[in-house]
Amino acid sequence: MPKKETIHIIDDEKIIHEVLEDLLSSEGYKCELSSNGPEALKKHQSRSFDLVLLDLLMPGMNGIEVLQKVKKMDPHAVVIIITAYASVESAISAMKKGAFDYIQKPFKHEELLITVKRAIKHKKLQEENIQLKGQLKRKFSFDNIIGKSKNMQDVFSVIKAAAPTRSTILIQGESGTGKELVAKSIHQNSERSEFPFITVNSGSLPPDLLESHLFGHVKGAFTGAVSQKQGLFEAANKGSIFFDEISSLNMETQAKLLRVMQEKEFMRLGGTKTIKVDTRVIAATNTELEELIKSNKFREDLFYRLNVIKIELPPLRERKEDIPLLTKHFLEIYGKENNKKNLEVTEEVMELLERNSWPGNVRELENFIERTVVLTRSKVITRDQIPSFLLISKDTNKNDSLASNLDLKQRTQNFQKRAILDALRKSNGVQKKAAGLLGIKPTTLNEMIKRLNIETNNIQK
């Protein structure tokens, strides 16, 4: 049975109480009656109401005073002012102090009910918005970043210290380590959390189009610019802007970004007007920017401007003790999504998960768990339900251990090559499909193929 909304009627006239209570009760609302300000405020101290109907002219404490005190106790309270025709100016003044709307005496029943329904709808939307913000806060709270390992605890310490500040953040880590999740957590736990968090996929757009996206453009700035457009920096004003894979920016865009960070201002493409912004920059990279500086592919001055607080996210292979926690976390999430609760894996499967090097890191593990949950028909996930690449990982690790002249980096690269080639063969050379099998982005796969010098010409397409 749906909950009945409760309306608090505050009026010194008994006849108004009777008329409003009869009218609203007939529409299914519950009514609470108060004859003066002090009586009403006492009730608001112990409970909240879905709506308040407040008379403006009452002896002693008037409606404006009651409104201000109610809003101080409950900033989200929705109040409709009841006023005589001669006091309309006072009613408008009340709206400036937080009232939702006003109705005049003598009021028409139909008009009052329409206003009440509109106010109740506003209250529900307000509550839904608060609830969604709470869910967002929980989703991107530090508790949602899983890890008990020493290196992850060190990461948590830096995040907690950095989040409340206004400093620029540089997040470094391999693809799939959770850089964007960390960026969103920093934003949600900062004073900017009520303002936008904008993500810029630095490598997904050509340079000229990226500049238009970042800084906006004026009408006629280039062919196709038929109207003025706001840029992402302007949209993120007072909030945060997150540059994913900032190493992909070309040198010209890097110079413009540096100016925005230094001067807190920019001009739209083709424009002459200077626009001021207060936007926190959070950047992420899966490459060593210092190496790009040496090869003149990244500006040294921009690097130092970005590298105020650096957060280095360890790859999953360096935090094996976190795999059981992450596995349980993802089993709960995707079990709930697929109506398969209380899922678990056998000890043998957990050993295989811990043994695997996970080149796609946490994202790859998450995709693997999601796929397994969708396909499983039992509550306990066994060896028979997992793919062959996990089963052969024991043998490949054994072969690597025989080559004692290989360091950890070389062994990891060897495994990554094998995994990528295996995925490419299974997908007939289609990189997008191969990336899906590996649980990484197509752009990340392409970057890894280049970095590892993997020959793809002989793979059937």
Say whether the peptide bond before residue 75 is cis (omega within 30 degrees of 0).
no
**Are 232 and 99 in a shared domain?**
no
Residues 31 and 112 in one domain: yes
Q: Is 279 helix (H, G, I), strand (E, B) or coil?
A: coil
Give residue 85's pLDDT. Answer: 63
Cα separation, 133 vs 142, in Å, equals 15
Asked whether residue 282 is assigned to any structural domain, the reply reads yes
Give pLDDT, residue 225: 77
Are 281 and 395 in the same domain?
no
Residue 140 pLDDT: 53
Residues 114 and 194 in one domain: no
Query: Within this chain, do residues 339 and 246 fall inside the same structural domain, yes or no?
Result: no
**CA 395 from centre of chain:** 40
State the CATH number of the domain containing residue 110: 3.40.50.2300
Task: Please tell me whether residues 106 and 126 are part of one structural domain.
Answer: yes
Q: What is the CA radius of gyration of the chain?
A: 30
pLDDT tens figures, 94-127: 888 889 998 988 888 999 999 999 999 999 888 8
Domain assignment of residue 348, yes or no: yes
Strand partners, 244: 201
* pLDDT of amino acid 370: 93
Burial degree of 37 (CB within 10 A; 0-12, 13-18, 19+): buried
Identify whether residues 83 and 179 lie together within a single domain: no
Is there a single domain that holds both residue 64 and residue 146?
Answer: no
Same domain as 159, residue 78: no
59-95 residue pLDDT tens = 889 989 999 999 999 888 999 999 876 567 777 888 8
The per-residue pLDDT for 406 is 52
Element (H, E) at 298: none
Amino acid identity, residue 273? K
* Alpha carbon separation from 164 to 140, 158, 213 (Å, rounded): 15, 11, 28
**pLDDT score for 204:** 67
Q: Which two tokens stand for residue 82?
A: 């009841």
153 and 116, same domain (yes or no):
no
pTM of the model: 0.60
Last residue of a domain, one of 314, 348, 379: 314
Predicted pLDDT of residue 226: 78
Cα 10 to Cα 79: distance, rounded to the nearest angstrom: 10
Are 67 and 100 within 8 A, CB to CB? Answer: no
What is the per-residue pLDDT across 408-430, written as a single tens digit (0 to 9) for each?
667 777 788 888 888 888 788 88
Where a domain ends, among 290, 314, 338? 314
Q: For the chain, list residues with pLDDT below 50.
A: 1, 393-404, 461
The letter for the amino acid at 78 is: V
Order the strands of the 197-201 sheet from edge to edge. Answer: 197-201, 240-244, 280-285, 169-172, 309-312
- Domain end position, chosen among 136, 151, 177: 136
Assess contact for 117 and 110: CB atoms under 8 A: no
Query: Do residue 180 and residue 272 come from a single domain?
Result: yes
Q: What are the distances in angstroms from CA 324 to CA 152, 178, 330?
A: 14, 17, 10
Residue pLDDT, tens place only, 258-301: 999 999 999 888 888 999 999 999 999 998 999 999 999 999 99
pLDDT of 404: 44
Residue 461 within any structural domain of the chain: no
Domain that holds residue 201: 142-314
Backbone angles phi, psi at 101, to 5 degrees: -165, 180
Into how many domains does the chain fold? 3
- CA 403, 407, 411 angle in degrees (round to 5)? 70
Query: Residue 361 sits in a domain of what CATH number?
Result: 1.10.8.60
